[in-house]
Amino acid sequence: MIQKKLKVLRIIARLNVGGPAIHTILLTQALNNERFESVLVTGQVDKTEKDMIYLAREKQINPLIISELGRQIHPLRDLIAFWKIYRIIRREKPDIVHTHTAKAGALGRVAAVFAGVPVRIHTFHGHIFESYFSRFYISIFLFIEKALAYFSKYIVVVSQAQKREMGEHYKVARPDKIKVIPLGLELEKFALIQSHNGKLRKGLNIDDDTIAIGIIGRLVPVKNHRMFLEAVKHLLSILGDEFKIKCLIIGDGEKRIELEVYAKELGISGNVLFCGWQENMADVYSDLDIVVLTSLNEGTPVALIEALAAGRPVVATNVGGVSDVVEDGINGYCVTSGDAQAFAHRMADLIKDPNKRSVFGTKGRETVREKFSKKRLVEDITKLYEEAASPQ
């Protein structure tokens, strides 16, 4: 018997640089085949964010763009966005609406309920219940998410740690409704890079004898770059004049000017370079010796996965899904969030021991190669969709 082709409408608030955008683009590309038809709906990025629409174009994907859909809460624009999403759903008549990120998850699932879509799925890439809003607003958002989960077939999380948070701590949904599907990325290009190919270092005038430490991500409060700068201050004190160090902040965002001022106040601006967004990340990882992350809250850290795929050791705060990527003492180090001194000592340990950096990097490649591959992601989501759409 010929199976009916399933149509999936995938909705994300914006295609800003990060895991959710890559995830949705790769799924939309891969699940346009003999079994699925995928349509991607997105909003617009903020002025301080880099748009990943270029990746969608590279994958021959032309998203339906709703200009009113974005990051900030804005009642009138959100109402317009809801109406436009509803109209798109009525026109496209999908079998499945799969939403990603909080804003799209709320508007998209409510619109799907009103439009009578039989299967509604939402993916939490991270969550907004820590480090984003006051307790009052968090309680409201948590109530909304619990109500939306009731009308969702499945809630997808990207790590076991996140499943425990969503199911046991926040009780967003029943544990049997929560499915763990880790991110999947195109990691092959990172596995082939050579150390210090020189493109990034040459552009920044960094010689090969200098240890380059990179932190990659949006310059926003939840990424806690202030802790990184404080750790750099401690690191320079620990190392003295023994090593030449450059710390590269890759990314941009609303906190850039504030962070530049803070680096000057700490007296470390000569060792810190604000590099903005970089499009060729293989060149970035090639010229870094260590990759770090200081987030207060994290779903699955794409930068760490890519760094490990490139054979780079990592140091990260032990939050959210970080421990699903970083095996402490094996491919990197996990440090308690907020402990800048411990973070500095872990960086110093790797700087002083190039053999450990090499061993951690090799182990890192082994860790992420299959676990976070695009192929595995597509297989997992295909299975989820088949299960969700099958008659009960």
Q: What pTM was estimated for this model as a whole?
A: 0.88
Q: Cβ distance 189 to 283 under 8 Å?
A: no
pLDDT given at position 259: 98
pLDDT in tens, 139-171: 888 898 899 999 999 999 988 888 888 888 888
* Mean pLDDT computed over 180-198: 86
The yes-or-no verdict on residue 299 having pLDDT over 90 is no
Please state which of the ranges 73-87, 179-193, 216-230, 239-253 shows the lowest mean pLDDT: 179-193
Return the percentage of the chain with pLDDT > 70, whole number.
97
CATH number for the domain whose boundaries are 188-371: 3.40.50.2000
Distance CA 96, CA 358 (A): 45
Break the chain into its structural domains and give their ranges.
6-184+373-389, 188-371
pLDDT in tens, 33-86: 999 999 999 999 988 788 999 999 999 999 999 999 987 888 999 999 999 999
> How is residue 322 annotated by DSSP?
G
Distance CA 21, CA 51 (A): 9
CATH fold match for the domains 6-184+373-389 and 188-371: yes
* Mean pLDDT computed over 172-195: 89
Per-chain mean pLDDT for the chain: 92
Domain 6-184+373-389, architecture per CATH: 3-Layer(aba) Sandwich (3.40)
> Which tokens sit at 368?
């992420």
pLDDT given at position 1: 47
